[in-house]
Chain A
Amino acid sequence: NAGVTQTPKFQVLKTGQSMTLQCAQDMNHNSMYWYRQDPGMGLRLIYYSASEGTTDKGEVPNGYNVSRLNKREFSLRLESAAPSQTSVYFCASNRDRNTEAFFGQGTRLTVV
């Protein structure tokens, strides 16, 4: 079982460049999430999609956009990368709001 798959695993961007992080899950989960993890800050929610066709802001949405392409896929876009967006990004999914979440392996992004 693949579970939650994220691509790419590593990326270096220059300030101002754009990129899209891809996430796909094969568990038929309804809800999907994007988190970022920084030293000393823990995991912070960027955006989430409660179900196909809906997206909502989390704790730190500025500088990001998302698309719930279908039930399986949830992408995160950085339109104009900034050094403050250097982080590890995790995609996660769960069946519904009260169930355990499964995480992808993460994307290590460096913006120089």
Chain B
Amino acid sequence: RKEVEQDPGPFNVPEGATVAFNCTYSNSASQSFFWYRQDCRKEPKLLMSVYSSGNEDGRFTAQLNRASQYISLLIRDSKLSDSATYLCVVNPFGGYALNFGKGTSLLVTP
């Protein structure tokens, strides 16, 4: 079982829609959690860190459920520019390497 699993999508949504992505992780001792965004043929870039209490940044909300070992990302009022692949990233306890999910593809259409 891969350590970080995501629904690959693609998610096709109209502008203005709300879309949610989920991600599950296998290592219950994982300590750090992130959502990254990757545009086509570009490097991954941090979208937001995910804290136990949940956090919000504008239209984006991230939540962590340690008991069920999943992370979510909610995007409200989707924009065309939100079209990208969203990567769920987990750092296991004691480990150095960030473990990446395979990504969820989002396409926002006019």
Residues of B within 8 A of A103 (CB): 43-45
Q: Shortest beta-carbon distance, B33 to chain A, in Å?
A: 10
Out of B46, B97, B100, name the residue touching A48 (CB < 8 Å). Answer: B97
Number of chain A residues whose Cβ lies closer than 8 Å to a Cβ of chain B: 25
Q: Which of the listed residues B43, B102, B103 has the most CB atoms from chain A within 10 Å of its own CB?
A: B43
**Chain B residues near A (Cβ < 8 Å):** 31-32, 34, 42-46, 49, 87, 91, 95-103
**Chain A residues near B (Cβ < 8 Å):** 31, 33, 35, 40-43, 45, 48, 50, 56, 58, 90, 92, 94, 97-106
Report 7 cross-chain contacts, Cβ distance below 8 Å, ordered by A residue. Answer: A40-B102, A45-B99, A90-B43, A97-B96, A100-B34, A101-B46, A103-B45
